[in-house]
Amino acid sequence: MRMNEGVEWAAHVCVLLHWAEEGGDAPVPATRLAAAYDLPTAYLVKQLQALGRAGLTESVPGRRGGVRLARPAARITLMDVVAAIEGPDDAFACTEIRRQGMNAERPARDFAQPCGVAHAMREAELAWRRALAATSIADLAGSTPAGRAADARRFLAAP
């Protein structure tokens, strides 16, 4: 059960975009974002497209174009980023094994209720999501050591 590493990329990129916005350097081209952390450009672009489809970022085509946050960093949470990259599916997928084998003869209505396993898994994932939703991109930006933001802006604005 490993999470896509695109989630880490996307989170860091969102922080960069927030800093760029603050410095008036938005939008930032994807090539520059990739260079900032030495990531494979073409693949990072895929993740950026996922962020765009989820409404977290918007992109400007053409020369002087690039990507920017679609709303203030304080209103983009880690949960949003994870959902955008990982997709909407829960980690735990029910396959209804309880209906097979010794229970194959039972009528379908015997299984109308999800069983305790599914319920507990669902609760646990909700707790996880709530925790992720408690941290925003602005929080992440604020918790980085002083001076790092200015350096990043300098790098993103460089020719």
Positions that interact with DNA (CB under 7 A)? 1-2, 4-6, 27, 29-31, 40-43, 45-46, 48-49, 52-53, 59-67
Give the C-alpha separation, 101 to 110, whole Å: 15
Q: What is the 3-state secondary structure (H, E, C) of 25-69?
A: CCCECHHHHHHHHCCCHHHHHHHHHHHHHCCCEEEECCCCCEEEE
* CA angle (53 as vertex; 31, 12 as ends), nearest 5: 45
* Partner whose footprint covers residue 6, from DNA, a second copy, ligand SF4, none (CB < 5 to 8 Å by kind): DNA
Nearer Cβ to DNA, position 2 or 109?
A: 2
Can you give the binding site for a second copy, defined by CB under 8 A?
Answer: 1-5, 7-9, 11-12, 35-39, 78, 86, 89, 91-95, 97-98, 100-104, 110, 113, 115-117, 119-121, 123-132, 134-135, 139-140, 143-145, 151-152, 155
